[in-house]
Amino acid sequence: MKAEPDRKWWKESVVYQIYPRSFKDSNGDGIGDLKGITEKLDYLQDLGVDVIWLSPVYQSPNDDNGYDISDYQSIMEEFGTMEDFDEMLAQAHSKGLKIVMDLVVNHTSDEHPWFVESRKSKDNPYRDYYIWREGKDGREPNNWGSCFSGSAWMYDGQTQMYYLHLFSQKQPDLNWDNETVRNEVFTMMNWWIDKGIDGFRMDVISLISKPAEFVDGKAGVEGYASFSDAANGPHVHEYLQEMRQKVLNRADTLTVGECSGVTLEEAKKYARSDEKELNMVFQFEHMDVDADEGNKWTDKKMDLRDMKEVLTRWQKGLEGVAWNSLFWENHDQPRSVSRYGSDSREYQEVSAKMLATCLHLMQGTPYIYQGQELGMTNVPFGGIEDFRDLESINAYRELTEQGVYTQEEMLKYLRYKSRDNARTPFQWDDSENAGFTEGTPWIMVNPNYKWINAKDQIARKDSVFSYYKELIRLRKSHEIIVYGSYDLLLPEDPDLYVYTRTLGSEKMLVICNFSENTRDFTLPGWCQDSANIVKLIGNYGDAGIDGSMRIRAYEAVALLCKI
């Protein structure tokens, strides 16, 4: 007898990520805000998602668009007030939508009062809240580079020591080995839980426990070593179990850890099904298949076989022991339709739907990043002045100054991979500024809003938006989509991603063409008896089911077979 699936509401849910700065501006200052989100809750309810993950809305000097927090218990002025937040939360709940907050506690802003105190003197009570070290031979304590270029250590003249910042200089890393720091974080989290929020997405949570010694790593092209040794550090599981006991167990939360550098073995601990730590993790191996030996700045296209190998390893590896999060996009990634599909007029819609099919029918909780449900594309940025993201701007400066790339090359790579591709305003309609703002948007609007926008797609039955609605609806009516086991077919095929899901006496067959080539495909023997086959969804309206099928450019089809 097969065991019954371990049912959980957060496995059956679909999460929608909002990047508040770019979602909807309610007061004409060009910056999205909380009132804007409240205005658009009906849109999300119509789409059918269950949970909203809000990128940070806390007070922040915005060095890294809110991922540098100076007060965890107040709202960024540009986004509104705590009353606006409470109103948004209440309205969301009344519409059956849950709200998950972004928890950014690997680091704070350097303008957070804890850090302002910490840097004052070596005996300040807050000194040990952060990671301070003496220099080594007149240089940084080790050769780690920051994620946003330059050294991961910043010299502070006041006390003549260095502090660690894995991200920007304005994001000093907290010292999680200090119990007082942990308790401060837990108290703050409990304050939000008491407000009624429904969970946390935990920013770079795999990095919180630093190694006991900061030894040099192997230096890369820019002369710095990656800080990958900081991932999955010695006490990270201990600290998360403590968080589980002191905070998370107090409510029925959804928790997802952003785990850079996570391996399958580590993920089984973070996302263990006995719920001692988190519900699920974001892993990033599938975001690296189109990198060039770890270097993100390239326009290399992925080989689908690599993608299938990575995703299948995670699908099979976590089956029954932990839980996957499924994503193609977030605020740190370019648009998937431009990256893995096609953003040409001809194929933008069909390939956006194909990508959605492939992802939503795997095992795990699907995440939709704002605009993905319209098939929003990468952006035709002009020069470097069009970019806003500090990662992009710093990388451009560093790599062109060092002569690693010319300015033209670097701009080409930024247009393909920059995080800003995901951060341009949501395309609500075809009026000026895509209906995002009545003022001047903080970052350019993608000019293709004239033909890619929500207003048009809501009205159209064959739109990408309507297709997402249908995928979400299917998830609610077919247990196999949530709980079925996964198996890959045709691992060596360069164009087709074909997999099955199996639950009880049902089997689902998912066929996705990642290329423009038309391909013949013969249905497997167990799926030949037409009396027992139902077509669940497909992105070419007319496609019939036949023992031998013709799979057209970017075609996707899912069949349900009784076995």
* Partner in contact with 373, chosen from Ca ion, ligand GLC, none, beta carbon below 5 to 8 Å by kind: none
Residue of 203, 229, 389, 470 marked catalytic:
203
For 328, the token pair is: 């193609």
Question: Are 514 and 354 within 8 A, CB to CB?
Answer: yes
Select from 27, 169, 228, 273 the one that contacts Ca ion (CB under 5 A). 27
- In the bound state with Ca ion, the residue whose beta carbon lies nearer, of 24 and 127, is 24
- In the bound state with Ca ion, the residue whose beta carbon lies nearer, of 33 and 140, is 33
CA separation for the pair 455, 84 (Å, rounded): 26
Chain mean position to CA 531: 41
- Binding flag, residue 202, ligand GLC (CB under 6 A): no
Please name the residue that has the structure tokens 């299917």.
Answer: 474
- Binding flag, residue 332, ligand GLC (CB under 6 A): yes
Instruction: State the nearest-atom distance from the C-beta of 64 to ligand GLC, in Å.
Output: 5
- Binding flag, residue 454, Ca ion (CB under 5 A): no
- Binding flag, residue 64, ligand GLC (CB under 6 A): yes
What does each C-alpha distance from 270 to 55, 183, 274, 513 come to in angstroms?
21, 20, 10, 33
Beta strand extents in 475-531 (DSSP E only) = 485-489, 496-503, 506-513, 519-522
Return all residues near 169 (Cβ < 8 A) that are at least 6 apart.
Answer: 110, 146, 150, 154
**Annotation says 258 is catalytic:** yes
CA separation for the pair 144, 219 (Å, rounded): 8
* Partner in contact with 470, chosen from Ca ion, ligand GLC, none, beta carbon below 5 to 8 Å by kind: none
* Partner in contact with 248, chosen from Ca ion, ligand GLC, none, beta carbon below 5 to 8 Å by kind: none
Site for ligand GLC in 159-178 (CB under 6 A): 167
* Partner in contact with 29, chosen from Ca ion, ligand GLC, none, beta carbon below 5 to 8 Å by kind: Ca ion
- Binding flag, residue 47, ligand GLC (CB under 6 A): no
SS (H, E, C) 438-459: CCCCCCCCCHHHHCCCHHHHHH
- In the bound state with ligand GLC, the residue whose beta carbon lies nearer, of 295 and 515, is 295
Instruction: State the nearest-atom distance from the C-beta of 32 to Ca ion, in Å.
Output: 6
Site for Ca ion in 30-69 (CB under 5 A): 31, 33
- Binding flag, residue 203, ligand GLC (CB under 6 A): yes
- Binding flag, residue 173, Ca ion (CB under 5 A): no
Residue of 140, 258, 343, 349 marked catalytic:
258
- In the bound state with ligand GLC, the residue whose beta carbon lies nearer, of 334 and 484, is 334
Site for ligand GLC in 428-487 (CB under 6 A): none
Please name the residue that has the structure tokens 């990270």.
Answer: 236
**Annotation says 198 is catalytic:** no
- Binding flag, residue 67, ligand GLC (CB under 6 A): yes
- In the bound state with ligand GLC, the residue whose beta carbon lies nearer, of 107 and 501, is 107
- Binding flag, residue 354, ligand GLC (CB under 6 A): no
Residues in the chain: 563
Site for ligand GLC in 87-126 (CB under 6 A): 104
Please name the residue that has the structure tokens 């080995």.
Answer: 177
Give me the sign of the Cα torsion angle 135, 136, 142, 143: positive
What does each C-alpha distance from 201 to 173, 198, 286, 413, 473 come to in angstroms?
18, 10, 19, 29, 24
Torsion of CA 475, 479, 480, 482, to 10 degrees: 60
Binding site for ligand GLC (CB under 6 A): 64, 67, 104, 167, 203-204, 258, 331-332
Binding site for Ca ion (CB under 5 A): 25, 27, 29, 31, 33
Positions marked active-site: 203, 258
